[in-house]
Amino acid sequence: MRLNKLQQPINSGFNAQSTAQEVIRGIDLSGKTAIITGGYAGIGLETTKILALAGATVIVPARSLEKAKTNLSGIPNVELQKLDLMNPESIENFTEKFLASERKLDFLINNAGIMWVPLQRDGRGYESQLVTNYLSQFHLTAKLFPALKRADSARVIMVSSYGHQMSPFNFEDPNFENREYQTLAGYGQSKAACNLFSVALDEKAKQYNIRSYSVHPGSVYGTDLGREEPIGLFIQMGTHDESGKIKPEVRAKLKTIPQGAATTVWCATTPHLENIGGVYCENCNIAEIDNGQIEHRYDEPSTIKGVQPYSIDLESAERLWKLSEEMTGIQFDVK
């Protein structure tokens, strides 16, 4: 196993309570262009607001244009485009349109994601969480790579999750064709894939001054990611009472949406990471490697942290890159 030696906390000046607005204070993004998938809801919407108000032009791809238009109303510097991440043809259409504009791309924030879904497959037979949370990121990033190169100093952010600890990437059966489907295993391997993709992308693309990061937003209250989660599991985890209501003492420890978006915005804009990439970040800092020394408790959100070595291993990252090319039919040549 080969791990990035830069995967260790630094003195960032921020912490779990920092907000997106705080970490970007004093940074002017005028003339910069960002694409943020899922940038019209939850922490994605907050990320869009913060980057746009700092002067960036933010392009928000959305499957539901009406919902996105409503949520983005009143935010300056925002462009809305059609994109369905479960549809490879839709990704091709979106990226071709952007490349035809000949604009540079300073920030690509792969924020969109799904969780807790039953077994669903796309037209290729691929499992939906793997497609939405990872394969679409690979496809989108590959096609937008010429625009990232034009920026001459671009950053790619994969919004991952502590959920990567639920399962390593299963190279033998990523689409649950020969094993029983478990939604959390599907979610976990999709987020482990995000981490591995970030490691490989940074290793290959840093020659063009393109750096890549994966991000755990933290345990955030108020997003709709867990809308399909069975309430019995919340109770079992100790976060909710028997009536299904979140315990006040747990609620008080969860991050707000502005705090949940902070690490994404920090990774995209902080000068602290100018010479650092391929790392997994949380709480506006580079995360600690979890070698079993961290005691995790779901009713204590501050312990939901750390990165598993299997998800930042350079050899596994290269193996996943090749598999992703095979699965998508895309030759992602970084040159």
Residues recognised as catalytic: 187
Buried b (16+ CB within 10 A) or exposed e, 169-204: bbeeebbbeeeeeebebbbbbbbbbbbbbbbbbbbb
The whole-angstrom separation of Cα 212 and Cα 278 is 5
What residues pair up with 159 in beta bridges, in sequence order?
Answer: 215
User: Taking a C-beta distance cutoff of 8 angstroms, is the pair 194, 134 a contact?
Assistant: yes
Question: Whose CA is closest to 280, among 222, 195, 184?
Answer: 195
Helix, coil or strand: residue 36: strand
End-to-end CA distance of the chain: 26
Residues contacting 322, CB < 8 A, separation 6+: none
Q: Helices in the chain by DSSP H: which ranges?
A: 20-23, 42-53, 65-71, 88-100, 128-130, 136-151, 183-205, 231-237, 248-251, 257-260, 262-269, 314-328
The whole-angstrom separation of Cα 50 and Cα 63 is 22
The secondary structure element, H or E, covering residue 80 is strand 78-82
The whole-angstrom separation of Cα 48 and Cα 43 is 9
Question: Whose CA is closest to 260, among 82, 38, 105?
Answer: 38
